[in-house]
């Protein structure tokens, strides 16, 4: 188990999936302390600064990384994604310990911190780069996402959140990582609302 965990950590570090040197060391330290297996969950729901900040505070989350997914351009930049022409959405990839949380818990929370009924926008941010997506890696995650969206639809919500396979996650530039921690500001466009 330890060899598998270290292999995963080293692969993540080699790929540059961490937000920075300090966060990478913190993820490694947390994983070693808990003998953690690391899994990922990937969500897009408007401004990635807000989604990252709220998800990284959840129990069992080792790191939350801002980036881009769902588009056709390799190595997109923030400036390119902001045009809406790359097809990418501002996305957050969550690294978590499955002994402490699971995909369904994180997906439920994600659906409670943004408005899943808004299409190609979230609050004041407008454009396809702000669309709502639950990305899945496995069929089980796809089924969980579909179940959660069905629950919301049965409540009468006109859900716009898409469910898509994650093909590639591109880490955003360093100045977009841990944005609220760096600036001392508070998330302005997302807030928690109980839906489940």
Task: List the structure tokens of 190.
Answer: 């997302």
Query: What pLDDT score does 187 carry?
Result: 60
**Catalytic residue flag (residue 17):** no
Query: What pLDDT score does 182 carry?
Result: 63
Query: What pLDDT score does 6 carry?
Result: 43
Where does residue 106 fall: left (phi above 0), alpha (psi -120 to 50 degrees), or beta otherwise? alpha
Do 122 and 91 contact (CB within 8 A), yes or no? Answer: no
What's the pLDDT tens digit per position in 109-168?
Answer: 999 999 999 999 888 889 999 999 999 999 999 999 999 999 999 999 999 999 999 999
Task: Give the dihedral sign, CA 61/166/118/87.
Answer: positive
The pTM is what?
0.81
Task: Write down all domains in the chain, each with its CATH number in brackets.
Answer: 37-183 (3.30.1060.10)
Q: Annotated catalytic residue: which of 47, 50, 82, 189?
A: 47
What's the pLDDT tens digit per position in 3-39?
Answer: 444 434 444 443 444 434 455 456 656 665 656 689 9
Please tell me the distance from the alpha carbon of residue 9 to that of residue 26, in angstroms, as a whole number.
Answer: 11
Instruction: Give the DSSP H or E segment for 143.
Output: helix 139-154
């Amino acid at each position: 188990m330890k060899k598998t965990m270290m292999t995963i950590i080293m692969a993540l570090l080699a790929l540059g999936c961490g937000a920075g040197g300090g966060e990478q060391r913190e993820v490694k330290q947390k994983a070693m302390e808990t003998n953690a297996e690391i899994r990922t969950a990937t969500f897009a729901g408007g401004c990635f600064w807000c989604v990252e900040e709220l998800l990284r505070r959840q129990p069992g989350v080792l790191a939350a990384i801002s980036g881009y997914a769902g588009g056709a351009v390799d190595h997109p930049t923030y400036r390119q994604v902001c045009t809406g022409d790359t097809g990418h959405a501002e996305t957050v990839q969550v690294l978590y310990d499955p002994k402490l949380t699971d995909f369904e818990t994180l997906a439920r929370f994600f659906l409670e911190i943004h408005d899943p009924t808004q299409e190609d926008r979230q609050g004041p941010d407008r454009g396809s780069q702000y669309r709502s997506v639950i990305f899945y890696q496995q069929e089980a995650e796809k089924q969980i996402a579909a179940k959660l969206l069905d629950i919301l639809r049965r409540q009468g919500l006109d859900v716009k959140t898409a469910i898509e396979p994650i093909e590639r996650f591109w880490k955003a530039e360093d100045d977009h990582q841990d944005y609220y921690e760096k600036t001392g500001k508070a998330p302005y466009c997302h807030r928690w609302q109980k839906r489940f």
